[in-house]
Chain A
Amino acid sequence: MARTLAMFTDVSLCIGCRACQVACKQWNQLAPEEPEWTGTYQNHAHFTDKSYRLVRFFEETDAKGQMKQWHMMSDVCKHCAQAGCLEACPTGAIYRTEYGTVNINQDICNGCRYCVSACPFGVVAFNHDTGTATKCTFCNDRIHNGLGPACAKACPTESIRFGFRDELAVKAKKRVDELKKLGYKDAQLYGEDKDGALGGLNAFFLLLGKPSIYGLPDKPKLPQRNVIADSLLAIGSALMVGLGALVAFRDRGGKGDA
Protein backbone atom coordinates (compact mmCIF):
# COMPACT_ATOMS: atom_id res chain seq x y z
CA MET A 1 0.00 0.00 0.00
CA ALA A 2 1.16 3.50 -0.78
CA ARG A 3 1.57 6.03 1.99
CA THR A 4 -1.79 6.78 3.59
CA LEU A 5 -3.40 10.03 2.53
CA ALA A 6 -5.57 11.92 4.95
CA MET A 7 -7.56 15.06 5.57
CA PHE A 8 -7.16 17.19 8.68
CA THR A 9 -9.98 19.58 9.50
CA ASP A 10 -9.21 22.23 12.09
CA VAL A 11 -12.57 23.54 13.31
CA SER A 12 -10.88 26.49 15.06
CA LEU A 13 -10.17 27.93 11.62
CA CYS A 14 -13.56 27.21 10.03
CA ILE A 15 -15.60 30.32 9.28
CA GLY A 16 -18.61 28.45 7.92
CA CYS A 17 -18.34 29.91 4.43
CA ARG A 18 -19.19 26.58 2.79
CA ALA A 19 -16.73 27.07 -0.04
CA CYS A 20 -15.78 23.42 0.53
CA GLN A 21 -19.39 22.34 0.07
CA VAL A 22 -19.68 24.29 -3.16
CA ALA A 23 -16.31 23.10 -4.51
CA CYS A 24 -17.28 19.51 -3.78
CA LYS A 25 -20.55 19.90 -5.65
CA GLN A 26 -18.86 21.53 -8.60
CA TRP A 27 -15.99 19.07 -9.01
CA ASN A 28 -18.15 16.00 -8.51
CA GLN A 29 -20.91 17.45 -10.67
CA LEU A 30 -23.53 16.93 -7.99
CA ALA A 31 -26.95 18.27 -8.82
CA PRO A 32 -28.45 21.13 -6.81
CA GLU A 33 -30.96 20.32 -4.10
CA GLU A 34 -33.89 22.11 -2.57
CA PRO A 35 -32.71 23.98 0.56
CA GLU A 36 -33.79 22.37 3.79
CA TRP A 37 -34.69 24.33 6.92
CA THR A 38 -32.80 22.76 9.83
CA GLY A 39 -33.20 25.53 12.38
CA THR A 40 -29.60 26.68 11.90
CA TYR A 41 -27.42 27.81 9.02
CA GLN A 42 -26.75 24.15 8.28
CA ASN A 43 -28.05 22.87 4.99
CA HIS A 44 -28.83 19.96 4.72
CA ALA A 45 -29.54 18.08 7.91
CA HIS A 46 -27.59 15.04 6.70
CA PHE A 47 -25.19 14.03 4.00
CA THR A 48 -27.14 13.27 0.84
CA ASP A 49 -26.44 11.61 -2.47
CA LYS A 50 -25.79 15.13 -3.76
CA SER A 51 -23.88 16.56 -0.77
CA TYR A 52 -20.68 14.71 0.12
CA ARG A 53 -19.40 17.65 2.11
CA LEU A 54 -21.47 19.26 4.82
CA VAL A 55 -20.69 22.24 7.02
CA ARG A 56 -22.38 21.59 10.35
CA PHE A 57 -23.42 24.36 12.72
CA PHE A 58 -23.86 23.73 16.44
CA GLU A 59 -24.95 25.99 19.25
CA GLU A 60 -23.36 25.00 22.55
CA THR A 61 -25.45 25.97 25.53
CA ASP A 62 -24.61 26.13 29.22
CA ALA A 63 -26.42 24.41 32.05
CA LYS A 64 -29.11 27.12 32.03
CA GLY A 65 -29.72 26.65 28.34
CA GLN A 66 -28.09 29.95 27.45
CA MET A 67 -26.04 30.20 24.26
CA LYS A 68 -22.39 29.66 25.13
CA GLN A 69 -20.52 29.23 21.86
CA TRP A 70 -21.20 28.73 18.20
CA HIS A 71 -19.34 25.86 16.55
CA MET A 72 -18.82 25.14 12.87
CA MET A 73 -17.35 22.00 11.45
CA SER A 74 -16.89 20.99 7.85
CA ASP A 75 -17.83 17.32 7.92
CA VAL A 76 -16.88 14.63 5.44
CA CYS A 77 -16.48 10.89 5.06
CA LYS A 78 -13.89 9.75 7.59
CA HIS A 79 -12.44 6.98 5.39
CA CYS A 80 -12.12 4.94 8.59
CA ALA A 81 -9.27 2.46 8.94
CA GLN A 82 -11.97 0.04 10.10
CA ALA A 83 -14.91 1.10 7.97
CA GLY A 84 -18.42 -0.06 8.84
CA CYS A 85 -19.66 0.55 5.30
CA LEU A 86 -16.85 -1.46 3.74
CA GLU A 87 -17.34 -4.40 6.10
CA ALA A 88 -21.11 -4.38 5.63
CA CYS A 89 -21.07 -4.24 1.83
CA PRO A 90 -22.18 -7.67 0.59
CA THR A 91 -21.01 -7.10 -2.98
CA GLY A 92 -17.44 -5.96 -2.40
CA ALA A 93 -18.31 -2.70 -4.17
CA ILE A 94 -16.85 -0.78 -1.23
CA TYR A 95 -13.11 -1.22 -1.22
CA ARG A 96 -9.97 0.32 0.18
CA THR A 97 -7.65 2.07 -2.23
CA GLU A 98 -3.87 1.96 -2.17
CA TYR A 99 -3.95 5.33 -0.38
CA GLY A 100 -6.07 3.98 2.48
CA THR A 101 -9.23 5.75 1.36
CA VAL A 102 -12.60 3.99 1.08
CA ASN A 103 -14.48 4.14 -2.21
CA ILE A 104 -17.67 2.73 -3.68
CA ASN A 105 -17.29 1.09 -7.07
CA GLN A 106 -20.39 2.32 -8.87
CA ASP A 107 -20.14 -0.51 -11.39
CA ILE A 108 -20.55 -3.14 -8.67
CA CYS A 109 -22.89 -1.55 -6.09
CA ASN A 110 -26.37 -3.04 -6.37
CA GLY A 111 -28.18 -0.59 -4.10
CA CYS A 112 -28.90 -2.86 -1.12
CA ARG A 113 -28.35 0.14 1.21
CA TYR A 114 -26.79 -1.90 4.02
CA CYS A 115 -23.80 0.46 4.08
CA VAL A 116 -26.12 3.42 4.73
CA SER A 117 -27.13 2.14 8.16
CA ALA A 118 -23.72 0.58 8.90
CA CYS A 119 -21.83 3.88 8.86
CA PRO A 120 -21.37 5.19 12.43
CA PHE A 121 -21.20 8.73 11.05
CA GLY A 122 -24.18 8.69 8.68
CA VAL A 123 -22.01 9.49 5.69
CA VAL A 124 -23.22 7.07 3.01
CA ALA A 125 -26.35 8.09 1.12
CA PHE A 126 -28.49 6.30 -1.42
CA ASN A 127 -28.88 7.84 -4.86
CA HIS A 128 -32.34 7.08 -6.18
CA ASP A 129 -31.37 8.17 -9.69
CA THR A 130 -28.47 5.75 -10.10
CA GLY A 131 -29.78 3.11 -7.70
CA THR A 132 -26.45 2.99 -5.89
CA ALA A 133 -24.85 4.22 -2.67
CA THR A 134 -22.61 7.27 -2.85
CA LYS A 135 -20.23 9.22 -0.68
CA CYS A 136 -17.06 11.29 -0.67
CA THR A 137 -14.07 9.68 -2.40
CA PHE A 138 -11.51 12.30 -1.32
CA CYS A 139 -11.85 13.25 -5.01
CA ASN A 140 -10.36 9.96 -6.12
CA ASP A 141 -9.74 11.23 -9.65
CA ARG A 142 -7.88 14.30 -8.40
CA ILE A 143 -5.66 12.54 -5.86
CA HIS A 144 -4.65 9.95 -8.46
CA ASN A 145 -3.45 12.85 -10.58
CA GLY A 146 -1.50 14.61 -7.88
CA LEU A 147 -4.19 17.11 -6.96
CA GLY A 148 -5.74 17.49 -3.54
CA PRO A 149 -9.48 17.12 -2.99
CA ALA A 150 -11.55 20.05 -4.25
CA CYS A 151 -12.78 20.97 -0.75
CA ALA A 152 -9.26 21.31 0.65
CA LYS A 153 -8.18 23.37 -2.36
CA ALA A 154 -11.15 25.71 -1.95
CA CYS A 155 -10.94 26.27 1.82
CA PRO A 156 -9.88 29.93 2.26
CA THR A 157 -8.68 29.56 5.86
CA GLU A 158 -6.83 26.26 5.49
CA SER A 159 -9.21 24.75 7.98
CA ILE A 160 -9.17 21.72 5.67
CA ARG A 161 -5.74 20.34 4.93
CA PHE A 162 -4.84 17.34 2.84
CA GLY A 163 -1.64 15.32 2.68
CA PHE A 164 0.16 12.32 4.04
CA ARG A 165 -1.42 11.14 7.25
CA ASP A 166 1.75 10.93 9.32
CA GLU A 167 2.78 14.47 8.39
CA LEU A 168 -0.68 15.88 9.06
CA ALA A 169 -0.79 14.16 12.45
CA VAL A 170 2.39 15.95 13.55
CA LYS A 171 0.97 19.31 12.43
CA ALA A 172 -2.34 18.57 14.15
CA LYS A 173 -0.71 17.78 17.50
CA LYS A 174 1.35 20.95 17.27
CA ARG A 175 -1.80 22.97 16.58
CA VAL A 176 -3.53 21.49 19.64
CA ASP A 177 -0.62 22.57 21.80
CA GLU A 178 -0.80 26.08 20.33
CA LEU A 179 -4.52 26.35 21.00
CA LYS A 180 -4.13 25.12 24.57
CA LYS A 181 -1.54 27.83 25.17
CA LEU A 182 -4.06 30.35 23.82
CA GLY A 183 -6.60 29.20 26.40
CA TYR A 184 -8.63 26.61 24.49
CA LYS A 185 -8.24 24.02 27.22
CA ASP A 186 -10.66 21.53 25.66
CA ALA A 187 -8.97 21.50 22.25
CA GLN A 188 -8.48 17.91 21.17
CA LEU A 189 -7.95 15.69 18.17
CA TYR A 190 -10.70 13.37 17.01
CA GLY A 191 -9.81 10.27 15.04
CA GLU A 192 -6.08 10.93 14.76
CA ASP A 193 -5.05 8.06 17.05
CA LYS A 194 -4.46 4.90 15.03
CA ASP A 195 -4.89 2.85 18.21
CA GLY A 196 -8.17 4.57 18.97
CA ALA A 197 -11.70 4.04 17.77
CA LEU A 198 -12.09 2.43 14.32
CA GLY A 199 -8.31 2.13 14.00
CA GLY A 200 -8.09 5.86 13.34
CA LEU A 201 -9.90 8.05 10.86
CA ASN A 202 -8.25 9.14 7.64
CA ALA A 203 -10.27 12.34 7.89
CA PHE A 204 -9.52 13.49 11.42
CA PHE A 205 -10.49 16.66 13.21
CA LEU A 206 -9.29 19.22 15.69
CA LEU A 207 -12.23 20.03 17.94
CA LEU A 208 -12.55 22.82 20.48
CA GLY A 209 -14.60 20.72 22.86
CA LYS A 210 -15.81 17.20 23.43
CA PRO A 211 -16.99 15.34 20.31
CA SER A 212 -20.64 15.26 21.39
CA ILE A 213 -20.80 19.07 20.98
CA TYR A 214 -20.23 18.46 17.28
CA GLY A 215 -22.71 15.62 17.11
CA LEU A 216 -19.92 13.08 16.86
CA PRO A 217 -19.98 9.82 18.82
CA ASP A 218 -17.46 9.86 21.69
CA LYS A 219 -16.35 6.32 20.97
CA PRO A 220 -17.51 5.23 17.53
CA LYS A 221 -17.67 1.47 17.22
CA LEU A 222 -17.34 -0.83 14.25
CA PRO A 223 -20.84 -2.40 14.04
CA GLN A 224 -19.42 -5.66 12.68
CA ARG A 225 -17.72 -6.22 16.04
CA ASN A 226 -21.16 -7.44 17.13
CA VAL A 227 -21.30 -10.26 14.60
CA ILE A 228 -19.46 -12.88 16.66
CA ALA A 229 -21.30 -12.23 19.95
CA ASP A 230 -24.70 -12.00 18.24
CA SER A 231 -24.01 -15.18 16.28
CA LEU A 232 -22.99 -17.08 19.42
CA LEU A 233 -26.24 -16.07 21.11
CA ALA A 234 -28.13 -17.17 17.99
CA ILE A 235 -26.34 -20.54 18.13
CA GLY A 236 -27.43 -20.85 21.76
CA SER A 237 -30.99 -20.15 20.66
CA ALA A 238 -30.64 -22.77 17.89
CA LEU A 239 -29.48 -25.36 20.42
CA MET A 240 -32.50 -24.59 22.60
CA VAL A 241 -34.85 -24.90 19.61
CA GLY A 242 -33.26 -28.20 18.62
CA LEU A 243 -33.57 -29.46 22.17
CA GLY A 244 -37.18 -28.32 22.30
CA ALA A 245 -37.97 -30.18 19.09
CA LEU A 246 -36.26 -33.35 20.37
CA VAL A 247 -38.28 -33.22 23.58
CA ALA A 248 -41.54 -32.42 21.79
CA PHE A 249 -41.21 -35.21 19.22
CA ARG A 250 -39.42 -37.87 21.22
CA ASP A 251 -41.10 -41.24 21.41
CA ARG A 252 -43.00 -41.83 24.63
CA GLY A 253 -44.14 -45.33 23.90
CA GLY A 254 -47.51 -45.81 22.27
CA LYS A 255 -47.98 -45.20 18.59
CA GLY A 256 -50.22 -42.34 17.70
CA ASP A 257 -52.03 -41.21 14.64
CA ALA A 258 -49.50 -38.66 13.50
Chain B
Amino acid sequence: MEPGLLQSSDWPLLIDLYFFLGGIAGGAFVIATIANLLDGQRYRDVVRVGYYIAFLAIIPAPIMLIVDLGLPTRFLHMMMVAKPSAEIGMDAITVGPFHFKPFSPMNAGAWALLGFSVFAFLAALDVFLEHRSGRSMSGLRLIVGVIGGFFGFFLAAYPGVLLGATARPLFVSAHWLGALFLAVGASTGGAAIALVLSLLGGQRREALSRLMRFTAFTLLLQLVALALFIVAVRMAGSARIGQALTQLLFGPYSLTFWLGAVVVGIVAPLVLQCAGGIKKAGAGVAALVSVLILIGGFLVKHVIIAAGQAT
Protein backbone atom coordinates (compact mmCIF):
# COMPACT_ATOMS: atom_id res chain seq x y z
CA MET B 1 0.00 0.00 0.00
CA GLU B 2 1.23 3.42 -0.86
CA PRO B 3 0.74 6.44 1.39
CA GLY B 4 -2.70 7.92 1.22
CA LEU B 5 -1.58 10.66 3.54
CA LEU B 6 -0.48 13.34 1.09
CA GLN B 7 -2.24 16.67 1.06
CA SER B 8 -2.91 19.10 -1.75
CA SER B 9 -2.30 22.82 -2.02
CA ASP B 10 -5.74 23.13 -3.66
CA TRP B 11 -4.63 25.93 -5.93
CA PRO B 12 -7.69 27.29 -7.73
CA LEU B 13 -8.29 27.95 -11.43
CA LEU B 14 -6.77 31.39 -10.94
CA ILE B 15 -3.33 29.84 -10.61
CA ASP B 16 -3.83 27.81 -13.80
CA LEU B 17 -4.71 31.07 -15.51
CA TYR B 18 -1.60 32.72 -14.12
CA PHE B 19 0.57 29.88 -15.43
CA PHE B 20 -1.18 30.20 -18.80
CA LEU B 21 -0.70 33.96 -19.04
CA GLY B 22 2.90 33.71 -17.82
CA GLY B 23 3.57 31.20 -20.59
CA ILE B 24 2.00 33.44 -23.24
CA ALA B 25 3.95 36.45 -21.97
CA GLY B 26 7.27 34.60 -21.89
CA GLY B 27 6.69 32.93 -25.25
CA ALA B 28 5.57 36.11 -27.02
CA PHE B 29 8.55 38.02 -25.63
CA VAL B 30 11.05 35.42 -26.81
CA ILE B 31 9.51 35.28 -30.30
CA ALA B 32 9.55 39.07 -30.58
CA THR B 33 13.17 39.17 -29.44
CA ILE B 34 14.33 36.53 -31.94
CA ALA B 35 12.36 38.17 -34.75
CA ASN B 36 13.95 41.51 -33.80
CA LEU B 37 17.43 39.98 -33.72
CA LEU B 38 17.01 38.46 -37.18
CA ASP B 39 15.39 41.43 -38.92
CA GLY B 40 13.66 44.03 -36.78
CA GLN B 41 12.39 46.01 -39.73
CA ARG B 42 11.04 43.09 -41.68
CA TYR B 43 9.25 41.60 -38.71
CA ARG B 44 8.25 44.93 -37.23
CA ASP B 45 4.66 43.84 -36.61
CA VAL B 46 5.69 40.57 -34.96
CA VAL B 47 8.11 42.42 -32.69
CA ARG B 48 5.60 45.13 -31.79
CA VAL B 49 2.67 42.80 -31.17
CA GLY B 50 4.90 40.29 -29.35
CA TYR B 51 6.21 42.86 -26.89
CA TYR B 52 2.76 44.37 -26.36
CA ILE B 53 1.24 40.95 -25.65
CA ALA B 54 4.07 40.10 -23.25
CA PHE B 55 3.46 43.30 -21.32
CA LEU B 56 -0.34 43.08 -21.31
CA ALA B 57 -0.34 39.39 -20.34
CA ILE B 58 1.98 39.98 -17.42
CA ILE B 59 0.00 42.89 -15.91
CA PRO B 60 -2.71 40.70 -14.27
CA ALA B 61 -0.19 38.03 -13.20
CA PRO B 62 0.83 39.43 -9.81
CA ILE B 63 -2.79 40.34 -9.08
CA MET B 64 -3.78 36.69 -9.54
CA LEU B 65 -1.00 35.52 -7.26
CA ILE B 66 -1.82 38.10 -4.62
CA VAL B 67 -5.54 37.34 -4.61
CA ASP B 68 -4.87 33.62 -4.15
CA LEU B 69 -2.70 34.05 -1.05
CA GLY B 70 -4.06 33.32 2.39
CA LEU B 71 -2.69 36.73 3.43
CA PRO B 72 -2.52 38.91 0.29
CA THR B 73 -0.85 41.78 2.15
CA ARG B 74 2.22 39.59 2.58
CA PHE B 75 2.93 39.01 -1.12
CA LEU B 76 6.27 40.78 -0.84
CA HIS B 77 7.37 38.12 1.64
CA MET B 78 7.98 36.00 -1.46
CA MET B 79 11.13 38.07 -1.91
CA MET B 80 11.76 40.02 1.26
CA VAL B 81 11.04 39.97 4.98
CA ALA B 82 12.18 42.35 7.68
CA LYS B 83 14.05 39.76 9.71
CA PRO B 84 14.86 36.61 7.71
CA SER B 85 15.70 33.48 9.68
CA ALA B 86 19.16 31.98 9.41
CA GLU B 87 18.28 28.52 8.16
CA ILE B 88 15.64 28.75 5.45
CA GLY B 89 16.83 26.14 2.96
CA MET B 90 19.55 24.74 0.74
CA ASP B 91 21.84 27.36 -0.78
CA ALA B 92 19.49 30.16 0.26
CA ILE B 93 20.99 33.61 -0.17
CA THR B 94 19.92 36.47 2.07
CA VAL B 95 21.05 40.03 1.47
CA GLY B 96 19.57 42.41 3.98
CA PRO B 97 15.83 41.87 3.92
CA PHE B 98 15.94 40.06 0.56
CA HIS B 99 16.18 36.31 0.11
CA PHE B 100 16.68 34.05 -2.87
CA LYS B 101 16.08 30.31 -2.64
CA PRO B 102 17.31 28.50 -5.78
CA PHE B 103 15.63 25.25 -4.76
CA SER B 104 12.25 26.89 -4.20
CA PRO B 105 10.80 27.38 -7.69
CA MET B 106 8.08 29.60 -6.24
CA ASN B 107 10.63 31.99 -4.75
CA ALA B 108 12.74 31.94 -7.93
CA GLY B 109 9.56 32.41 -9.97
CA ALA B 110 8.58 35.48 -7.97
CA TRP B 111 11.97 37.04 -8.72
CA ALA B 112 11.64 36.06 -12.39
CA LEU B 113 8.18 37.62 -12.51
CA LEU B 114 9.59 40.85 -11.13
CA GLY B 115 12.53 40.83 -13.55
CA PHE B 116 10.40 39.92 -16.54
CA SER B 117 7.84 42.60 -15.73
CA VAL B 118 10.55 45.28 -15.80
CA PHE B 119 11.91 44.13 -19.17
CA ALA B 120 8.44 43.57 -20.64
CA PHE B 121 7.56 47.15 -19.68
CA LEU B 122 10.77 48.55 -21.20
CA ALA B 123 10.31 46.58 -24.43
CA ALA B 124 6.67 47.62 -24.75
CA LEU B 125 7.62 51.24 -24.06
CA ASP B 126 10.28 51.13 -26.74
CA VAL B 127 7.98 49.77 -29.45
CA PHE B 128 5.31 52.25 -28.36
CA LEU B 129 7.72 55.18 -28.68
CA GLU B 130 8.90 53.87 -32.03
CA HIS B 131 5.33 53.65 -33.22
CA ARG B 132 4.49 57.15 -32.02
CA SER B 133 7.64 59.07 -32.88
CA GLY B 134 9.45 56.75 -35.26
CA ARG B 135 12.49 56.70 -33.01
CA SER B 136 13.72 53.50 -31.50
CA MET B 137 16.55 52.82 -29.11
CA SER B 138 17.73 49.77 -31.02
CA GLY B 139 20.72 49.14 -28.74
CA LEU B 140 18.55 49.25 -25.65
CA ARG B 141 15.93 47.06 -27.29
CA LEU B 142 18.57 44.47 -28.05
CA ILE B 143 19.77 44.33 -24.46
CA VAL B 144 16.24 44.42 -23.04
CA GLY B 145 15.16 41.72 -25.48
CA VAL B 146 18.01 39.33 -24.73
CA ILE B 147 17.90 39.68 -20.93
CA GLY B 148 14.10 39.76 -20.87
CA GLY B 149 14.09 36.71 -23.15
CA PHE B 150 15.92 34.67 -20.51
CA PHE B 151 13.38 35.81 -17.93
CA GLY B 152 10.63 34.95 -20.42
CA PHE B 153 11.90 31.39 -20.83
CA PHE B 154 12.11 31.10 -17.05
CA LEU B 155 8.60 32.44 -16.55
CA ALA B 156 7.14 29.98 -19.04
CA ALA B 157 8.98 26.96 -17.62
CA TYR B 158 9.16 27.46 -13.87
CA PRO B 159 5.54 26.47 -13.07
CA GLY B 160 6.29 23.01 -14.42
CA VAL B 161 9.45 22.74 -12.33
CA LEU B 162 7.46 24.05 -9.35
CA LEU B 163 4.91 21.26 -9.72
CA GLY B 164 7.69 18.69 -10.14
CA ALA B 165 9.13 19.79 -6.79
CA THR B 166 6.05 18.67 -4.86
CA ALA B 167 5.27 15.27 -3.38
CA ARG B 168 2.10 14.86 -5.46
CA PRO B 169 2.17 11.42 -7.11
CA LEU B 170 1.49 12.66 -10.64
CA PHE B 171 4.24 15.28 -10.48
CA VAL B 172 7.02 13.85 -8.36
CA SER B 173 8.38 11.49 -11.00
CA ALA B 174 7.33 13.49 -14.05
CA HIS B 175 10.52 15.50 -14.75
CA TRP B 176 9.21 16.78 -18.11
CA LEU B 177 6.69 19.32 -16.81
CA GLY B 178 9.11 22.26 -17.05
CA ALA B 179 9.96 21.34 -20.62
CA LEU B 180 6.28 20.83 -21.45
CA PHE B 181 5.17 24.12 -19.92
CA LEU B 182 7.91 25.97 -21.78
CA ALA B 183 6.81 24.42 -25.10
CA VAL B 184 3.19 25.34 -24.31
CA GLY B 185 4.31 28.89 -23.50
CA ALA B 186 6.08 29.13 -26.84
CA SER B 187 3.17 27.75 -28.85
CA THR B 188 0.57 29.89 -27.07
CA GLY B 189 2.83 32.96 -27.26
CA GLY B 190 3.19 32.44 -31.02
CA ALA B 191 -0.52 31.78 -31.36
CA ALA B 192 -1.39 34.96 -29.47
CA ILE B 193 0.78 37.05 -31.82
CA ALA B 194 -0.67 35.29 -34.88
CA LEU B 195 -4.22 35.82 -33.63
CA VAL B 196 -3.71 39.55 -33.12
CA LEU B 197 -1.98 39.94 -36.49
CA SER B 198 -4.72 38.02 -38.29
CA LEU B 199 -7.39 40.15 -36.60
CA LEU B 200 -5.57 43.36 -37.47
CA GLY B 201 -5.83 42.47 -41.14
CA GLY B 202 -3.61 44.03 -43.80
CA GLN B 203 -0.77 42.41 -45.68
CA ARG B 204 0.84 40.20 -43.12
CA ARG B 205 0.95 36.91 -44.97
CA GLU B 206 4.67 36.31 -44.47
CA ALA B 207 4.58 37.08 -40.76
CA LEU B 208 1.61 34.77 -40.29
CA SER B 209 3.21 32.07 -42.37
CA ARG B 210 6.39 32.19 -40.29
CA LEU B 211 4.44 32.24 -37.04
CA MET B 212 2.43 29.23 -38.19
CA ARG B 213 5.65 27.42 -39.05
CA PHE B 214 7.00 28.24 -35.60
CA THR B 215 3.86 27.16 -33.78
CA ALA B 216 3.75 23.90 -35.78
CA PHE B 217 7.27 23.17 -34.56
CA THR B 218 6.47 24.05 -30.95
CA LEU B 219 3.30 21.93 -31.08
CA LEU B 220 5.40 18.96 -32.09
CA LEU B 221 7.76 19.77 -29.23
CA GLN B 222 4.73 19.99 -26.93
CA LEU B 223 3.52 16.61 -28.14
CA VAL B 224 6.91 15.01 -27.54
CA ALA B 225 7.21 16.57 -24.06
CA LEU B 226 3.69 15.41 -23.20
CA ALA B 227 4.45 11.86 -24.35
CA LEU B 228 7.71 11.83 -22.38
CA PHE B 229 5.86 13.13 -19.31
CA ILE B 230 3.42 10.22 -19.52
CA VAL B 231 6.21 7.70 -20.11
CA ALA B 232 8.24 9.06 -17.18
CA VAL B 233 5.24 8.86 -14.83
CA ARG B 234 4.34 5.38 -16.06
CA MET B 235 7.90 4.17 -15.53
CA ALA B 236 7.93 5.40 -11.91
CA GLY B 237 6.62 1.95 -11.04
CA SER B 238 4.57 2.96 -8.02
CA ALA B 239 0.96 1.88 -7.62
CA ARG B 240 -0.12 5.27 -6.29
CA ILE B 241 1.57 7.11 -9.14
CA GLY B 242 0.06 4.65 -11.61
CA GLN B 243 -3.40 5.37 -10.18
CA ALA B 244 -2.85 9.11 -10.57
CA LEU B 245 -1.85 8.68 -14.21
CA THR B 246 -4.87 6.45 -14.84
CA GLN B 247 -7.11 9.20 -13.49
CA LEU B 248 -5.59 11.62 -15.98
CA LEU B 249 -5.63 9.33 -19.02
CA PHE B 250 -8.73 7.21 -18.45
CA GLY B 251 -10.56 8.68 -15.47
CA PRO B 252 -12.57 11.85 -14.85
CA TYR B 253 -9.90 14.05 -16.45
CA SER B 254 -9.51 11.99 -19.61
CA LEU B 255 -12.06 13.89 -21.71
CA THR B 256 -10.42 17.24 -21.04
CA PHE B 257 -7.00 15.72 -21.55
CA TRP B 258 -7.59 13.83 -24.78
CA LEU B 259 -10.20 16.04 -26.39
CA GLY B 260 -9.11 19.42 -25.06
CA ALA B 261 -5.36 19.21 -24.58
CA VAL B 262 -4.43 16.72 -27.29
CA VAL B 263 -7.05 16.91 -30.07
CA VAL B 264 -8.08 20.58 -29.87
CA GLY B 265 -4.73 21.89 -28.67
CA ILE B 266 -2.26 19.90 -30.74
CA VAL B 267 -3.70 17.54 -33.37
CA ALA B 268 -6.37 19.82 -34.87
CA PRO B 269 -4.04 22.85 -35.32
CA LEU B 270 -1.37 20.63 -36.89
CA VAL B 271 -3.89 19.01 -39.25
CA LEU B 272 -5.32 22.40 -40.21
CA GLN B 273 -1.87 23.76 -40.91
CA CYS B 274 -0.87 20.74 -42.95
CA ALA B 275 -4.15 20.67 -44.88
CA GLY B 276 -4.11 24.38 -45.62
CA GLY B 277 -0.39 24.56 -46.27
CA ILE B 278 1.62 26.59 -43.84
CA LYS B 279 2.94 28.98 -46.46
CA LYS B 280 -0.47 29.62 -47.98
CA ALA B 281 -2.23 29.99 -44.66
CA GLY B 282 -4.62 32.91 -44.76
CA ALA B 283 -5.61 35.14 -41.89
CA GLY B 284 -8.78 33.11 -41.24
CA VAL B 285 -6.98 29.80 -40.94
CA ALA B 286 -4.23 31.40 -38.86
CA ALA B 287 -6.83 32.87 -36.49
CA LEU B 288 -8.62 29.53 -36.14
CA VAL B 289 -5.38 27.65 -35.57
CA SER B 290 -4.30 30.24 -33.00
CA VAL B 291 -7.55 30.04 -31.06
CA LEU B 292 -7.31 26.24 -30.95
CA ILE B 293 -3.70 26.41 -29.73
CA LEU B 294 -4.64 28.91 -27.02
CA ILE B 295 -7.58 26.80 -25.82
CA GLY B 296 -5.47 23.63 -25.84
CA GLY B 297 -2.56 25.39 -24.16
CA PHE B 298 -4.74 26.42 -21.26
CA LEU B 299 -6.42 23.03 -21.00
CA VAL B 300 -3.20 21.02 -20.98
CA LYS B 301 -1.89 23.01 -18.04
CA HIS B 302 -5.24 23.05 -16.29
CA VAL B 303 -5.97 19.34 -16.60
CA ILE B 304 -2.51 18.26 -15.47
CA ILE B 305 -2.66 20.55 -12.43
CA ALA B 306 -6.24 19.52 -11.60
CA ALA B 307 -5.49 15.79 -11.91
CA GLY B 308 -2.26 16.15 -9.96
CA GLN B 309 -3.94 17.98 -7.12
CA ALA B 310 -6.88 15.59 -6.89
CA THR B 311 -5.08 12.25 -7.12
Contact = CB atoms under 8 A, between A and B. Distances in A.
Interface in A44-79: 46-47, 75
Contacts of A179: none
Contacts of A84: 167
A217 B2 contact: yes
**Residue with the highest number of chain A CB atoms closer than 10 Å, among B88, B174, B176:** B88
Contacts of B105: 227
Interface in B89-126: 89-90, 92, 94, 99, 101-107, 109-110
B74 A230 contact: no
Contact of B179 (A86, A119, A133, A233): A233
A89 B161 contact: no
Given A84-B167, A130-B70, A92 B81 contact: yes
Contacts of B291: none
B1 A212 contact: yes
Interface string B198-237: 0000011111001101100110010001000000000000
Task: Tell me the dominant secondary structure on chain B's binding face.
Answer: helix
Contacts of A231: 157, 161, 178
Contact of A258 (B43, B157, B175): B43
B175 A256 contact: no
B165 A89 contact: no
Contacts of B178: 230-231, 233-234, 237
Contacts of A248: 210-211, 213-214, 217
26 contacts: A47-B7, A86-B88, A89-B101, A91-B74, A92-B94, A95-B85, A95-B86, A95-B88, A96-B87, A108-B81, A109-B77, A110-B69, A110-B72, A111-B70, A113-B11, A116-B10, A126-B10, A217-B2, A224-B104, A227-B102, A231-B161, A234-B160, A237-B225, A240-B183, A241-B183, A241-B218
Given A90-B110, A108-B77, 9 more contacts: A86-B88, A89-B101, A91-B74, A112-B70, A122-B7, A215-B4, A234-B179, A244-B218, A256-B207
